[in-house]
Amino acid sequence: KKDFKRVLKKIESYKFKILADEKNLEILQVLLHSKRGFLIKLLENPAMLEHDKFTDILRAVFHLEDELAKRINIHEISPQDKAHIEADIKRAYKPLVLEWVNYLEYLKRQHPHYFLFAVLTGPFSKTNLAPES
């Protein structure tokens, strides 16, 4: 429990650096567009109403997806648009990372047999055991 609190505290104070270059923005644009239906289903799920933080994260992700979708040619965005998109990414990313750590803590306490799998296949895994989707 102390380890998770320490990690959460570090994440809270961490200054995330976003590399919003053309290549990464294009990849993110395609990824978010391809996952839009899934994200809508999450938002429509009544159980999500009980999780304000997760709902706020979903809204931030939808806003980011909308902003990226408006850019027909991601290679021609202005520096101001790029700065705006970087801020949108940070607005979604940091809370998402915090929730991931909270989820891992929950798994470790309630479902320890799933915890290791989540760590090994999760978004921050260096072992890259996650199946390709």
In the DSSP assignment, the letter for residue 17 is -
pLDDT at 133 over 60: no
pLDDT at 120 over 80: yes
- Pair 105, 4: CB distance under 8 Å: yes
Whole-prediction pTM: 0.82
Q: What percent of the chain has pLDDT over 90?
A: 62
* Rg, Å, the chain Cα set: 16
The pLDDT-based confidence of 47 (bands split at 50, 70, 90) is confident
Of 102, 92, 99, 124, the C-alpha closest to 5 is: 102
* Residue 13 pLDDT: 94
> Residue 26 corresponds to which tokens in the numbers above?
């294009």
pLDDT at 59 over 60: yes
pLDDT tens, 11-26? 999 999 998 899 999 9
pLDDT tens, 80-107? 999 999 999 999 999 999 999 999 999 9
CA dist 36 and 61 (Å) reads 10
